[in-house]
């Protein structure tokens, strides 16, 4: 394998070492490494043969089918940047992404034919359907680089799009060399070998999926892609498919508990359980651990911009030893050796509490649109960090995560988003602190607090909880006892279940809309 391998190099190595092992289970189809590599090679060949030239960037409409992963791999085999496209997005959003990313070929499976047609009509982009038959077509063994199309480590491996404050999605390009620093470390950290089976708990358009895909494929293990409904009650899927490693948002624990799925000992074969994207509260971690008694529980952290994950806290085997870091959650843990972290206070100076800064070989080199870099990077000058607008980004620049943390014995503790710190009547408030207090009450399974603007422009707080609706009045009294008056939310509302965005996190924008609706009622 190359000294700085590309993503496809990792897959090709596993295909050579474990040709007859299961590589992918999706949509009722099982494919060995040999079968998947052969089908990938055939599709890659056909793309070039039919077009005459290699595409610049390939967009893939992501579904939970084998064809989606075949298309994804074919792009990487060609040394082309792959751009996963979430099929829950409307055509107008896809149009903005396609134009921003410079996509000149769209691949889809039959289930997304209608959406692909609508997007093609708006953009004029070439669209291909990847038929199931590709997996049965013969060609080479597909275990080497595509003929004449080796990617360079400095090439973009993939681009994922996150929400932008202006309403335009922000493209985050990650290079093969970023992944070449990240992947070997996580393979070792999470004890990944040829016997691993990982559940695809997210869609390819979110970078959590990169962990789910490449931990098994780099180790010679299997990626299992369940239906979305199976993820709501995961214990059966984990048991039946022999899942060894699980990585999702903590919200999945809340959903599984609500649906009565986390029976004690229900997932005895699970070896690693990772959670990220939201605070992993001790209550949730304990509930999952009871259902998976032999599993390591890990809290992981990593902005998309720093290549999937960059901090991990491995909880002790005995839950009685689990620390309560902040917000009633487990700590984020220490940084990987492939990143450097620092904490900056509001004056730009080093501190024990403040905004988390990250740099190192996992850090990306800036957004696809350089205009999005404004305010996101800083550089150390003399005795403090200073904002650097307009100057070329270098390895010396730190990425500003926007996350508030506190140094902790176990690395760092998460305190909330910098933009979740609001002022109400002149008081500075962390909404995460109120959420943590709500979760202390036995009637609350999950809680979220959002700020909203009243008609007179004042900032108010709205709290929502999932749990025992009949005890809402009791909960209001509890908040009044536990919090100063200025921190008690104006609204407290029961909700059957929280809305979630495409990344599996609580959709706080929809909660703000709900708060405004309740205020007008």
Domain count within the chain: 3
54 in any annotated domain: yes
Does residue 430 share a domain with residue 388?
no
> Which whole number is the average pLDDT over 366-383?
93
203 in any annotated domain: no
222 in any annotated domain: no
- Per residue in 3-56, pLDDT (tens digit) is 899 999 999 999 999 999 999 999 999 999 999 999 999 999 999 999 999 999
216 in any annotated domain: no
Residue of 123, 136, 125, 122 whose CA lies nearest to 70: 136
Q: Which of 175, 206, 226 is the last residue of a domain?
A: 175
> Which whole number is the average pLDDT over 372-377?
92
Does residue 368 share a domain with residue 502?
no
**What is the pLDDT at residue 453?**
79
**What is the pLDDT at residue 148?**
58
311 in any annotated domain: no
In contact, 380 and 387? CB cutoff 8 Å: no
**What is the pLDDT at residue 145?**
47
The runs of H, that is alpha helices, within 65-144 are 66-77, 91-101, 113-123
> Which whole number is the average pLDDT over 98-121?
95
Orientation of helix 7-17 relative to helix 176-189, angle to 10° = 50
Does residue 460 share a domain with residue 395?
no
| Distance, CA of 201 to CA of 252 (rounded, Å) | 9
Does residue 82 share a domain with residue 149?
yes
Percent of the chain with pLDDT over 70: 93
Does residue 478 share a domain with residue 394?
no
Q: Which of 394, 416, 438 is the last residue of a domain?
A: 416
**What is the pLDDT at residue 425?**
67
235: left (phi over 0), alpha (psi -120 to 50) or beta: alpha
Does residue 40 share a domain with residue 10?
yes
210 in any annotated domain: no
Does residue 352 share a domain with residue 477?
no
Confidence of residue 134 (pLDDT cuts 50, 70, 90): low
Q: What pTM did the predictor assign?
A: 0.85
**What is the pLDDT at residue 436?**
87
Confidence of residue 483 (pLDDT cuts 50, 70, 90): confident
Does residue 431 share a domain with residue 378?
no
**What is the pLDDT at residue 433?**
83
Of 46-60, 123-137, 223-237, 419-433, which range is least confident?
A: 419-433
- Per residue in 312-346, pLDDT (tens digit) is 999 999 999 999 888 789 999 999 999 999 999 98
CATH number at residue 431: 3.30.300.30
CATH number at residue 392: 2.30.38.10
Helix (H) / strand (E) element for 333: namely none
Residue 135 clears pLDDT 70, i.e. is over it: no
Domain residue limits at 515: 425-520
Of 33-37, 58-62, 427-431, 493-497, which range is least confident?
A: 427-431
Does residue 460 share a domain with residue 382?
no
159 in any annotated domain: yes
Does residue 469 share a domain with residue 375?
no
For the chain, helix, strand, coil in percent to 5 are 35, 30, 35
**What is the pLDDT at residue 14?**
98
318 in any annotated domain: no
Higher pLDDT, 170 or 361: 361
Q: How many CB atoms lie within 10 A of CB 21?
A: 17
- Per residue in 511-521, pLDDT (tens digit) is 999 999 998 87
- Per residue in 204-226, pLDDT (tens digit) is 999 999 999 999 999 999 999 99
Confidence of residue 143 (pLDDT cuts 50, 70, 90): low
**What is the pLDDT at residue 49?**
92
CATH number at residue 112: 3.40.50.12780
**What is the pLDDT at residue 422?**
77
Q: Which of 132, 152, 175 is the last residue of a domain?
A: 175
Average pLDDT, the chain: 91
Does residue 387 share a domain with residue 429?
no
| Distance, CA of 210 to CA of 364 (rounded, Å) | 15
Which residue bears the tokens 């792959």?
Answer: 82
Contacts of residue 183, defined as CB under 8 A and 6 or more positions apart, other chains included, come to 10, 214, 218
**What is the pLDDT at residue 432?**
84
> Which whole number is the average pLDDT over 291-306?
97
| Distance, CA of 516 to CA of 453 (rounded, Å) | 8
Does residue 499 share a domain with residue 359?
no
**What is the pLDDT at residue 278?**
86
| Distance, CA of 229 to CA of 241 (rounded, Å) | 15
């Amino acid at each position: 394998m190359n000294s700085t391998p590309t993503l496809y190099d990792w897959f090709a190595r596993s295909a050579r070492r474990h040709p007859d092992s299961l590589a992918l289970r999706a949509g009722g189809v099982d494919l060995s490494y040999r079968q998947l590599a052969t089908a990938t090679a055939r599709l890659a060949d056909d793309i070039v043969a039919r077009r005459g030239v290699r595409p610049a960037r390939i967009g893939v409409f992501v579904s939970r089918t084998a064809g989606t992963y075949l298309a994804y791999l074919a792009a990487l085999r060609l040394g082309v940047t792959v751009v996963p496209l979430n099929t829950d997005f409307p055509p107008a959003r896809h149009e903005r992404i396609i134009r921003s990313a410079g996509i000149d070929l769209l691949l889809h499976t039959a289930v997304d034919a209608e959406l692909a047609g609508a997007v093609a009509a708006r953009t004029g982009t070439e669209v291909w359907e990847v038929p199931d038959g590709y997996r049965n077509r013969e060609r080479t063994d597909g275990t080497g680089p595509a003929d004449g199309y080796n990617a360079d480590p400095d090439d973009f491996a993939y681009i994922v799009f996150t929400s932008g404050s202006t309403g335009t999605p922000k493209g985050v390009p990650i290079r093969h060399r970023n992944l070449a620093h990240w992947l070997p470390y996580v393979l070792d950290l999470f004890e990944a070998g040829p016997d691993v089976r990982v559940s695809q708990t997210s869609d390819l358009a979110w970078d959590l999926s990169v962990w789910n895909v490449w931990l098994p494929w780099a180790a010679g293990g299997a990626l299992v892609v369940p239906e979305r409904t199976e993820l709501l009650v995961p214990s059966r899927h984990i048991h039946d498919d022999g899942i060894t490693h699980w990585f999702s948002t903590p919200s999945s624990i809340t959903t599984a508990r609500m649906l009565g799925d986390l029976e004690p000992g229900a997932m005895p074969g699970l070896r690693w359980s990772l959670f990220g994207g939201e605070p992993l509260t001790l209550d949730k971690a304990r509930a999952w651990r009871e259902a998976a008694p032999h599993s390591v529980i890990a809290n992981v952290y990593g902005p998309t911009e720093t290549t999937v994950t960059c901090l991990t806290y491995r909880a002790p085997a005995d839950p009685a030893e689990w620390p309560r870091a902040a917000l009633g959650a487990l700590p984020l843990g220490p940084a990987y050796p492939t990143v450097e972290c620092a904490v900056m206070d509001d004056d730009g100076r080093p501190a024990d509490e403040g905004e988390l800064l990250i740099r190192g070989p996992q850090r990306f080199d800036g957004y696809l649109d350089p205009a999005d870099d404004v305010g996101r990077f800083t550089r150390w000058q003399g005795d403090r960090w200073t904002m650097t607008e307009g100057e070329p980004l270098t390895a010396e620049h730190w990425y500003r995560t926007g996350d508030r943390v506190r140094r902790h014995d176990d690395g760092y503790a998460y305190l909330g988003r910098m933009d979740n710190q609001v002022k109400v009547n002149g008081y500075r408030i962390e909404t995460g602190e109120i959420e943590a207090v709500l979760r202390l009450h036995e009637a609350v399974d999950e809680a979220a607090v959002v700020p909203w603007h009243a008609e007179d422009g004042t900032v108010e707080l709205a709290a929502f909880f999932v749990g025992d609706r009949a005890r809402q009045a009791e909960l209001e009294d509890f908040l009044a006892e536990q919090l100063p008056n200025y921190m008690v939310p104006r609204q407290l509302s029961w909700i059957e279940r929280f809305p979630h965005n495409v990344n599996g996190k609580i959709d706080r924008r929809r909660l703000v809309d709900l708060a405004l609706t309740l205020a007008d009622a």
